[in-house]
C-alpha cells in the first residue's frame, strides 16, 4: 500500500500590485462570505452530490490564476471524485494558500486564525512557542507592516494519516513546529534570537494542515532558496513519518545487502568458470577479460573512485550485464520500489531512478567486481607452443589473440557516468 504524502508549500507574503486590485477585491469578498455560501450549499445539496455550477466557475477562475494548485492533494481528491464536498475543500485550500496575493497581510493572518475549522486558543487559533496570550490585532499589524521578508508555509496531511499519527490537534502540531524551527531558521538564514513565528491549525475534512508565518525582527535578514524549501519539507516529513521511514530503511538495507551478496557470489563463480574455460556468456567473459587486461597498466589504488574513466566504464558494463540476471534484477526492483515509497512522502512526482550500474548506493558492488577480477589467474599462452612455419596455426593464434585481448567499438556497451 502506498505511503501517505505530505504537502509543504512555501511563499513570500507580500501585498498585491495595482494590476491585481480587482482580483484581490473579488477574492477578498469571497473570503468574507465563503462560509455562508458553503453552508447554504451544504443544506441544499448532498456533500457527495456532483459539483455545483457555481463551484465549477470559481474553481475555473482559481486554477487559471494559480495553476500550481493542481499539485495539491485536494485537487487530486477533486479530480478523482468531483463532489460538492471535495470542490469546497479545494476552493478553501487555494484561497488560504494564496491569501497573501488575494488580500493584504493583515487580512491573511486574521482569516487564518479565525476561520471556522481553526482550532481556537482563546479568541483565535494562533499559537507560537510562548505560553503568553497572543493579541491577534497586534500580531496582524506587526506582520502587515513588517518591512522585511515574511514567509508563509503550509504543511498538509491526509486525514487518515493525521489521525493515525496523532496530528489532529493543535498541541501536537505546535510541538512539531517547535522541534523544526531550528531547521527553518537555518534554511531561512535567520538567527534563532531574531526569528519570530506564528501558526494556526486547521482541522479540515480531508487534509488537516497548519499555516506557519516566519520572519526576522531584523528586516535585513532572511533568504529562502529552493534548496532551503526542500530541506524544510524533508525535515517535516522525516519527523512526522519517522516510524514509516525507519521501516522502509530497514527493508531497503536487507534488499541491498542481499543483492550485494548474490552479486559477489555470481562474480566469483564467473571468474572461476572463465579461468577454467567453462563460462558460456561470451559478452560478459569478454568484459571481464578486458578489465583484467586494463588492470595490468593501471597504477595506484585499485578501487572504483581512483580508476581512469575507461576502466570505470568497463566495470559499469560488467555490472550492467550482471543486472540482467533475474534474481539480481528482482532485488534491485524491490529496492527501487521502496525508494519510490520514500519519495511519495515528499512529492507527488514519479521518481525516476538510475540503473543498477549508475546507482551510487551500489558502488560497493563495483569494488567487489574489481577485487574479484584482480584475483583472477589467467592461463598463460606460450608462443613457443605454436609452430612458426604453419600459416594456418599463425592465423589461429591471431584469432585467439583478438578474441581474448581486443575490444571493438561494435561490442561496446554505452553507459553514462
pLDDT digits (tens, 9 = 90+) for 268-325: 899 888 888 888 889 999 999 999 999 998 888 889 999 999 999 999 999 999 999 8
| DSSP assignment string, 244-270 | HHHHHHHHHHHHHHHHHHHHHHHHHHH
- Break the chain into its structural domains and give their ranges: 1-12+117-239, 17-103, 244-411
Model confidence pLDDT, tens digit, residues 228-240 = 998 998 899 889 9
Task: Determine the pLDDT at residue 138.
Answer: 76
**Stretch 116-121: mean pLDDT:** 56
Distances (CA, A) of 67 to 94, 167, 206: 10, 28, 21
3-state secondary structure 178-227: HHHHHHHHHHHCCCCCCEEEEEEEECCCCCCEEEEEEEECCCCCCCCCHH
**Stretch 151-171: mean pLDDT:** 88
Higher pLDDT, 45 or 284: 284
Residue 24 has pLDDT above 60, yes or no: no
pLDDT band at 119 (very low <50, low <70, confident <90, very high): low
Taking residue 97's Cβ as centre, other Cβ atoms within 10 Å add up to 24
* Beta strand ranges found along 21-76 (DSSP E): none
pLDDT band at 148 (very low <50, low <70, confident <90, very high): confident
Residue 151 has pLDDT above 80, yes or no: yes
Q: 104-113, 223-232, 275-284, 331-340: which range is least confident on average? A: 104-113
pTM, 2 dp? 0.60
Cα(95)–Cα(208) distance, rounded to whole angstroms?
15
Cα(398)–Cα(141) distance, rounded to whole angstroms?
88
Nine cell digits for residue 159 = 486525514
Contacts of 165 (CB under 8 A, 6+ apart): 157, 240, 241
Task: Determine the pLDDT at residue 390.
Answer: 37
Task: Determine the pLDDT at residue 316.
Answer: 94
Amino acid at each position: 500500500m502506498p505511503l501517505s504524502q505530505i504537502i509543504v508549500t512555501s511563499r513570500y507574503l507580500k501585498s498585491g500590485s495595482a494590476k491585481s486590485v480587482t482580483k484581490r477585491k473579488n477574492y477578498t469578498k469571497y473570503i468574507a462570505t465563503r462560509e455562508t455560501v458553503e453552508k447554504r450549499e451544504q443544506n441544499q445539496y448532498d456533500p457527495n452530490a456532483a459539483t455545483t455550477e457555481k463551484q465549477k466557475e470559481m474553481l475555473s477562475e482559481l486554477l487559471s490564476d494559480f495553476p500550481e494548485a493542481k499539485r495539491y492533494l485536494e485537487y487530486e481528491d477533486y479530480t478523482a471524485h468531483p463532489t460538492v464536498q471535495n470542490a469546497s475543500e479545494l476552493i478553501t485550500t487555494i484561497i488560504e494558500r494564496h491569501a497573501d496575493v488575494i488580500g493584504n497581510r493583515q487580512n491573511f493572518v486574521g482569516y487564518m486564525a479565525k476561520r471556522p475549522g481553526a482550532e481556537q486558543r482563546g479568541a483565535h487559533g494562533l499559537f507560537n512557542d510562548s505560553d503568553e496570550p497572543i493579541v491577534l490585532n497586534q500580531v496582524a499589524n506587526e506582520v502587515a507592516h513588517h518591512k522585511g521578508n515574511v514567509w508563509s508555509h503550509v504543511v498538509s496531511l491526509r486525514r487518515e494519516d493525521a489521525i493515525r499519527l496523532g496530528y489532529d490537534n493543535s498541541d501536537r502540531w505546535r510541538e512539531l513546529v517547535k522541534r523544526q524551527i531550528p531547521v527553518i531558521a537555518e534554511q531561512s538564514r535567520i538567527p534563532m534570537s531574531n526569528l519570530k513565528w506564528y501558526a494556526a491549525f486547521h482541522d479540515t475534512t480531508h487534509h488537516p494542515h497548519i499555516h506557519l508565518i516566519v520572519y526576522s525582527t531584523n528586516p535585513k535578514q532572511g533568504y529562502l532558496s529552493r534548496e532551503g524549501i526542500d530541506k524544510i519539507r524533508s525535515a517535516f516529513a522525516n519527523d512526522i513519518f519517522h516510524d514509516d521511514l525507519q521501516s522502509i530503511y530497514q527493508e531497503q538495507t536487507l534488499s541491498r545487502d542481499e543483492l550485494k551478496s548474490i552479486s559477489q557470489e555470481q562474480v566469483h563463480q564467473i571468474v572461476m568458470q572463465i579461468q577454467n574455460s567453462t563460462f558460456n556468456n561470451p559478452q560478459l567473459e569478454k568484459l571481464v577479460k578486458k578489465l583484467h587486461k586494463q588492470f595490468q597498466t593501471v597504477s595506484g589504488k585499485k578501487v572504483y573512485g581512483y580508476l581512469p574513466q575507461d576502466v570505470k566504464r568497463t566495470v559499469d558494463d560488467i555490472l550492467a550485464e550482471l543486472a540482467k540476471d533475474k534474481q539480481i534484477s528482482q532485488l534491485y526492483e524491490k529496492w527501487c520500489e521502496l525508494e519510490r515509497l520514500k519519495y511519495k512522502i515528499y512529492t507527488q512526482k514519479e521518481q525516476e531512478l538510475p540503473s543498477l550500474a549508475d546507482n551510487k548506493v551500489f558502488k560497493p558492488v563495483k569494488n567487489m567486481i574489481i577485487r574479484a577480477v584482480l584475483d583472477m589467474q589467467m592461463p598463460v599462452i606460450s608462443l613457443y607452443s605454436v609452430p612458426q612455419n604453419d600459416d594456418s596455426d599463425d592465423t589461429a593464434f591471431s584469432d585467439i589473440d583478438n578474441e581474448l585481448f581486443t575490444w571493438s567499438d561494435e561490442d561496446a556497451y554505452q553507459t553514462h557516468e
